[in-house]
Amino acid sequence: MAGRTDEVSTYVSRDAGRSWRKAREGTSVGDMGDQGAIFVLADNSRETNEIDFSIDGGTSFQTCSFSSDLQLEVKDVVSDPSVASSNFLLHGSVPREEEAYFFAIDFSMLFPRQCSDVDLAGDPGSDFELWRPTGDKQDICVMGRQVDYVRRKPSARCFVGKDNRLSTLVRNCPCQEADYECDFCYERAGEERAALKNLSSSSCVWSCEGKEKPTYPPASCLGTYMKSRGYRLVEGNTCQGGLDLRPQLLVCPRQDVQNDGGSKLGQEGASEEQGSRRLSWGGVGVGLVAVVAIGACAATSALFLKGRGIRGATEVMLSSFQPSQRGHAYSRLSTGENDDFALADQLLQDDYDETPVPVPHNI
């Protein structure tokens, strides 16, 4: 369109392209902000000091000046990448000059308050509405689902802000024929073939000439196999239930192999395995008995020593000790008030309540 900018205008759509509204004459650069509630456009075909903006989601536009003394060739108008801010940045330059100019434009002061009741979108008292791409035909599903988008009402004089998260409500639809496409080697029948075969024109029929239609089950079938009915679900379609035209997963026919000898051998092997298991468990049982017996002895010894006290245990050990040489001298055990044995005996007295056996002063 170079050289014919006078024949070009900029349009804005609020319903995904179903309808268009003229925003301004000529070509434009621009961006949106405040989660789609604000539009800003600038002429990029000539020098200007004006922008066109909308605060009602593109329903109407107003004009304002961003500079009183500069006429710029506007290069771009951008907002926050998250499209949640009310601030815009305009970038331009003056012809035949090397300097670049940037203007920050803030629209937040145009709104007296922040929008509310985002969770009640669609209610009369909420600042938000629900929009569905199918327009007035609310029962139509697209790609197997119905989607409702939350957005600010055009008439609401408030800013959305970053705190209000505009959600998307999705509901899957029952599958219909329109949710399917023809499988490999199938195509739509069309009017002529449909009339000959008494089918609908949208039916999928075999189309690979020179190639035999596969038979089911296949000759070499192991476990399961897929049987095509000529259709497959469109990629990305999320329909659930309803009309099922997808390929079927079927189980291969059972092939029994008779082998009496093998069966007998298997039974004998199973018997031997069971006997081996019984033997193994028997060994484990013996091991458990041995462990329990040893554990009981250890517990008995511990109780005996604890009941007798440390001095009693010492007496038993000393009385059973036989020196290798006669006349060998041993040191005398202390029995004073700070006697370690006496202190230990006091700490170890328990429910047995037995008096420790006195240890002789001289051995």
Strands 224-227 and 28-33: unpaired
Which amino acid belongs to residue 257?
A: V
- pLDDT at site 238: 96
Question: Which residues fall within 8 angstroms of residue 248, CB to CB, at 6 or more apart?
Answer: 226, 227, 229
Looking at residue 251, its pLDDT comes to: 92
Fill in the amino acid letter for 320: S
Q: Are 240 and 172 in contact (CB under 8 A)?
A: yes
Q: Are 132 and 149 spatial neighbours (Cβ–Cβ below 8 Å)?
A: yes
Q: CB–CB of 71/48 below 8 Å?
A: yes
According to the model, what pLDDT value does residue 4 have? 67
CB-based burial label for 308 (10 Å; 0-12, 13-18, 19+):
buried
Query: Around Cβ 40, how many Cβ atoms within 10 Å?
Result: 23
First-last CA distance in the chain: 123
User: Is residue 231 a contact partner of residue 182, using CB atoms and an 8 Å limit?
Assistant: yes
Please give the single-letter amino acid code of residue 316. Answer: V
Q: In tens digits, what is the pLDDT along the chain, a chain of 363 residues?
A: 455 667 899 999 988 888 899 999 999 999 999 999 999 999 999 999 999 999 998 899 999 999 998 999 999 999 988 888 999 999 999 988 888 999 999 998 999 999 999 999 999 999 999 998 876 666 789 899 999 999 999 999 999 998 888 989 999 999 999 999 999 999 999 888 888 878 888 899 888 988 888 878 888 888 999 999 999 999 999 999 999 999 999 999 876 555 444 444 344 444 444 444 443 334 334 333 333 333 333 333 333 334 444 455 445 444 444 444 444 433 344 444 444 444 444 444 444 444 443 434 443
- Please give the model's pTM, rounded to 2 decimal places: 0.57
Q: Which two tokens stand for residue 274?
A: 């069971």
CA distance 260 to 268: 12
- Domains of the chain: residue spans and CATH: 5-110 (no CATH), 118-173 (2.10.70.80), 178-251 (3.30.60.270), 296-319+337-363 (no CATH)
Tokens of 121: 């979108």
Tell me how far apart the 2 most distant CA atoms of the chain are, in Å: 132
Contact 71, 94 (CB under 8 A): yes
Q: What's the pLDDT score for residue 221?
A: 87
Looking at residue 255, its pLDDT comes to 66
pLDDT of residue 257: 52
Q: Is the dihedral of CA 55, 60, 64, 70 positive or negative?
A: positive
